[in-house]
Amino acid sequence: MIVASVISVPQLIVFIVSVVIIAIGGVGLLTARYPVHAALFLVMTLFGVAILFIEEGAEFLAAVQVVVYAGAVVVLFLFVIMLLGVDREEIASFAGDTVRVGLAGVGVVLILAELFVVATGAWATGAHSVAGKLSSGSNIGVLARSVFTTYLLPFELTAALLVIAVVGAVILSRRMGVETTTLDSSPIESGRREVEQ
Amino acid sequence: MVVLGLVIGFPLLGFLVLLAFGKRMGDPGAGWFGTIAVASSFVAAIATWIVLLTKHGSNRTQVLHLFRWFQAGGLRVDVSFRADPLSIVMILFVTGVSAVIHLYSIGYMKRDARFHQFFIYLNLFVFSMLVLVTANNLPLTFLGWEGVGACSYWLISFWFERPTAASAGKKAFIINRIGDMGFLLGTFLVFFNLHSVSYSKVLPEAHQLSSGTAEAIALLFFLAAAGKSAQLPLFTWLLDAMEGPTPVSALIHAATMVTAGVYLMARLSPILALAHAASMTIAIIGVITAFVAAMAATSQTDIKKIVAFSTVSQLGYMMLGIGTGAYIAAIFLMVTHAFYKALIFLSSGSVIHSLDSEQSIRRMGALAKLMPITAWTMIIAWLSIAGVPPFSGFFSKGSVLEDAFGRNELLWVVGVVTALLTAYYMGRLVFVVFYGNARWQEVTHGHDPHESPRIMTIPLIVLAVAAATAGLLNLPYSGLRFLHNWLAPVFGSALVTYHLSSSEKILLPATDAVVALLGIFLAWRLWRRHSERKALEPAVLFKGWYIDTFYDRTFARGGTALAKFSDRVVDPTIVDGAVGGIAWLFRWVGGLGKRVQSGLVRSYLLIMVAGIVVLLAYVLLSAAR
Amino acid sequence: MTIPGSWYLVVAALLFGLGTFGVLTRRNVIVMFMSVELMLNAVNLTFVTYARMLNDVGGQIAVFFVLVVAAAEVVVGLGIIVAIFRHRATVTVDDISSLKG
């Protein structure tokens, strides 16, 4: 193999395996009949991506990927699926909507074509590093230095964002429930009744 | 020249006071107040005249400058008044006749529901007329011109409960607009060429105008004059104007306002003198108007219509004088005409008043014994207008015809024929109304008509004296041509003098007198015992040559049809169509956009993807370049 | 010799396409959400690849922030889904079209 003569074989094997995992996961996600299965395929894909991260030297991100995505996000998904009791078959996922599916396919193919042009071309601008060299130390060390110095403010903002998101989620789920009950009892009519009384 | 301000100020004061307190003054207080205001103005006019008499030559042109009215670029318009021999003549006879007619109106309008309002309009009219004749620039003249037009409109439709009166007012207003267009365009042309609108500058510099420009200006102002002074083809409004109260017909539509056109042409004589073709046109139109109106007058049955056609005819004579360059003769005729025509109207009004507003001469007759003063004053007026010596009409009409003869024999021939007709139709009126059989029993329900009250007969007598003797103003003998000598400096070189042989100087007045007597004789032969002669009253003349009918068929009905067509077709399809079409277009576009807003998230996403594709393609293409 | 960056980029592009297709075609809101996560991961992979190719830590920092934002997004998104489900008893997007014009 010409490729094998250029690239080290173990890396190639790891790459191919992870790509296969990603492909199976992605296609499975698309075609899964049950949301629970889809979630599991998603975990699979995320693991594949994590492997690629490691192969690219981003060990910290790979770990975070597994912990946050597989550990938190997908669990959250599964939790919601179970909570809502919608772990049943999705009604006619693709069927009866050929025009939209066709259009979606065309759109995706166009995006892919354009992305391939980007991916295979020499689009690197050669701009100088702003955040610092990646190879100047251990991955975690480099990241930590950058996050706690250059990107300290955005980092703090993400903390605030997370808090806001949590509070927002709580309020959303509570508020909507309250509104549902008032809507059912027709607020206008009840208000009128109050006035009459 | 403060006294000139008083002349104009008194009627204005009268108008304002009557406007504020007229209703409280009531009947007849408001009438007396208005009359006194105008009479004071007449006294002030005499004082102004005396002031001018003490001066000589060019000093007789005095300007009273009050304030700047408006200014725009090089255009400067002042409120300034001009007292010169011409405007003094106008002021004197306008205020004099107005005062007499005001007095008469107190009796005539008695017990009218809007008595005080009548005098508000009358005083405003006198004020506007004085502004018109004394203004020292064209825009101020136009202000007065429009003022008298508006008052004329209000007074014609004074009894607006009658639909005919209301529409007659509208008609007068609309037809006068055509003339006003000529006035405005003429003013623009004057300003464009002479860079001023003030008479003090325009008149002395008129000779700078090229002859073509002068012709255009003269014709445009003649259009204005034709509207106001009821010349062909714009005279039809004056006949309908008779719907107004008779004193209004006498004051506005016989004596003063309708002569404004003649005055305007006389005022602009320096321009007219340069425009030979326009002058000839004016003379021809004037003489044709005189003839056509006189013919129509012979067949009318409404007493006021006869007099109205007579007025048109006489105005035609004045225009003939203007056109032939005989400005003084025209002014002379205007003054004498004001007297005898006002008298005819007031006498007619007296008859109408005593017959409970009956206007048809078919239902009159044998009134001479019952209303002697009215009858005798009317006969004096008739002899004056007919041109029987030594009444005023003989001299004034004679001088116009003399100059017409000097200019062109044909004009004179038509003028003389018209004079014959004038004597004839007025004779017909007098005989049918005051002699023959009494035919008014139906109207008065048995009881006899009686002479009008003294407040109406005194003005008749005053005017009768004036009509009989006004010829003294300008006797055709050297040394006695007072009016000529008075006015000649105003017109100067514009005045055309025709030299007639001594035999012509005797023959022409003799012809006039013979023609007048012939007309009277004809009337006496034909109408002494008759009140109706179908053969002599053809429908074409009764209908006024169908000119009014023609206007009605073409312009009035055409305009109505056009309006209806617009209402039926243009408005719903084109105007509403454009509006509705735009609304429909946006609704359609909105409908297209609405389909995008399907509420389906995946449709939005699809559009997003399309956007991503396009954006990426753009980035790639711009990077590849 | 390591694997060239363009390979990773191609894989990322394919993953992105899969995610896009999923978002566009699936009707279950939760599955659509998962597809969005797929797309985010594809972008993350691209970031990491460029970070390696350009030897710049910035790419990895971006991934770090994307992960945080994605977590927040999932929290809020799932909260909305729960609220909608309580109200409408459905998680099929085509049934949720109250914003129709």
User: Using a CB-CB distance cutoff of 8 angstroms, which residues of chain A are in contact with residue C18?
Assistant: 26-27, 29-30
Q: Cβ separation of C71 and A162 shorter than 8 Å?
A: yes
Q: What's the mean pLDDT when you consider all of chain B?
A: 86
Distance CA C83, CA C92 (A): 14
Task: Give the one of B594, B599, B605 whose C-beta lies nearest to C23's C-beta.
Answer: B605
Rounded to an integer, the average pLDDT of A156-170 is 90
Distance CA B422, CA B294 (A): 6
Rounded to an integer, the average pLDDT of B347-365 is 83
Q: In which band, very low, low, confident or very high, does the pLDDT at B530 lie, cut at 50, 70 and 90?
A: confident
Chains that touch B (3 or more CB pairs under 8 A): A, C
User: Using a CB-CB distance cutoff of 8 angstroms, which residues of chain B are in contact with residue C101?
Assistant: 593-599
> Which of B587, B594, B602, B603 should we substitute to test contact with C (largest number of C Cβ atoms within 10 Å)?
B602
B397 within 8 A of B333, measured Cβ to Cβ: yes
User: Using a CB-CB distance cutoff of 8 angstroms, which residues of chain B are in contact with residue C93?
Assistant: 600-602
Nearest chain A Cα distance for residue C89, angstroms: 9
Q: Which of residues 84-113 of A touch C (CB under 8 A)?
A: 84, 86, 90-94, 97, 100-101, 103-105, 107-109, 111-112
Nearest chain C Cα distance for residue A197, angstroms: 30
Distance CA C57, CA B525 (A): 131
B400 within 8 A of B314, measured Cβ to Cβ: no
Task: Give the one of B602, B612, B623 whose C-beta lies nearest to A111's C-beta.
Answer: B612
Is it the case that residue C100 has pLDDT exceeding 80? no
Partner C contacted by A81 (CB < 8 A): yes
Task: Give the one of B593, B595, B600 whose C-beta lies nearest to C94's C-beta.
Answer: B600
**What separation in angstroms does the CA of B364 have from each of B133, B306, B354, B449?**
39, 14, 11, 10
Distance CA B4, CA A163 (A): 94
Q: Cβ separation of A161 and C67 shorter than 8 Å?
A: no
Tell me the domain boundaries of chain B: 275-545, 552-624
Q: Which of residues 165-184 of A touch C (CB under 8 A)?
A: 165-166, 168-170, 172-173, 175-177, 179-180
Compare A134 and B400 and report the one with higher pLDDT: B400
Is it the case that residue A117 has pLDDT exceeding 90? no
Q: Which of residues 82-101 of C touch B (CB under 8 A)?
A: 93-94, 96-101
Residue of chain C whose Cα is closest to the Cα of B603:
C24
Is it the case that residue A90 has pLDDT exceeding 70? no
* Residue B296 dihedral angles phi and psi, to the nearest 5°: -65, -35
Q: Cβ separation of B602 and C101 shorter than 8 Å?
A: no
Q: Which of A62, A54, A42, A63 is nearest to A14 (CA)?
A: A54
pLDDT digits (tens, 9 = 90+) for C30-87: 888 899 999 999 999 999 998 888 888 888 899 999 999 998 988 888 888 888 887 7
Q: Which amino acid is at B240?
A: D
Q: Which fold has domain C5-92?
A: Helix Hairpins (1.10.287)
What is the structure's pLDDT at A43? 92
CA dihedral sign of residues B552, B556, B558, B564: negative
Helix or strand run (H / E) with residue B62: strand B62-72
Q: Cβ separation of A111 and C17 shorter than 8 Å?
A: yes
Partner B contacted by C2 (CB < 8 A): no
Query: Above pLDDT 90, what percent of chain B?
Result: 16
Task: Give the one of B606, B620, B623 whose C-beta lies nearest to A103's C-beta.
Answer: B606
User: From the CB of residue A91, how many other CB atoms can be counted at a distance below 10 Å?
Assistant: 11
Q: Which of residues 85-124 of A touch B (CB under 8 A)?
A: 100, 103-104, 107-108, 110-111, 114-115, 117-118, 123
User: Using a CB-CB distance cutoff of 8 angstroms, which residues of chain A are in contact with residue C95?
Assistant: none
CB pairs under 8 A between B and C: 33
**What separation in angstroms does the CA of B417 have from each of B133, B288, B292, C28?**
32, 11, 11, 109
User: Using a CB-CB distance cutoff of 8 angstroms, which residues of chain B are in contact with residue A111?
Assistant: 609, 612-613, 616
Predicted ipTM? 0.89
Is it the case that residue B535 has pLDDT exceeding 70? yes
User: Using a CB-CB distance cutoff of 8 angstroms, which residues of chain C are in contact with residue A24?
Assistant: none
Task: Give the one of B597, B599, B606 whose C-beta lies nearest to C24's C-beta.
Answer: B606
What is the structure's pLDDT at A185? 43
Distance CA B584, CA B46 (A): 73
Q: Cβ separation of A111 and B606 shorter than 8 Å?
A: no
Q: Cβ separation of C31 and A29 shorter than 8 Å?
A: yes
Task: Give the one of B603, B609, B623 whose C-beta lies nearest to A107's C-beta.
Answer: B609
> Which of B596, B603, B616, B621 should we substitute to test contact with A (largest number of A Cβ atoms within 10 Å)?
B616
Is it the case that residue B218 has pLDDT exceeding 80? yes
Please tell me whether residue B114 adopts helix, strand or coil conformation.
Answer: coil
Q: Cβ separation of C73 and A129 shorter than 8 Å?
A: no
Q: What is the radius of gyration, based on Cα positions, of chain B?
A: 30
Is it the case that residue C88 has pLDDT exceeding 50? yes
Q: In which band, very low, low, confident or very high, does the pLDDT at A191 lie, cut at 50, 70 and 90?
A: very low
Q: Cβ separation of A93 and C26 shorter than 8 Å?
A: yes
Distance CA B17, CA B43 (A): 20
pLDDT digits (tens, 9 = 90+) for B482-506: 888 888 888 877 777 778 788 888 8
Per-residue exposure over B506-542, b if at least 16 CB sit within 10 Å of its own CB, e if not: eebbebbbebbbebbebbeebbeeebeeeeeeeeebb
Distance CA B131, CA B140 (A): 7
Q: Cβ separation of C93 and B600 shorter than 8 Å?
A: yes
Q: In which band, very low, low, confident or very high, does the pLDDT at A128 lie, cut at 50, 70 and 90?
A: low
Alpha helices in B435-546 (DSSP H): 441-444, 454-469, 482-491, 502-527, 539-542
Neighbouring C-alpha atoms within 13 Å toward the C-beta of B623? 14
Q: Cβ separation of A111 and B623 shorter than 8 Å?
A: no
The helix-helix angle for A35-55 and C29-54 (nearest 10°) equals 0
pLDDT digits (tens, 9 = 90+) for B470-483: 888 888 777 778 88
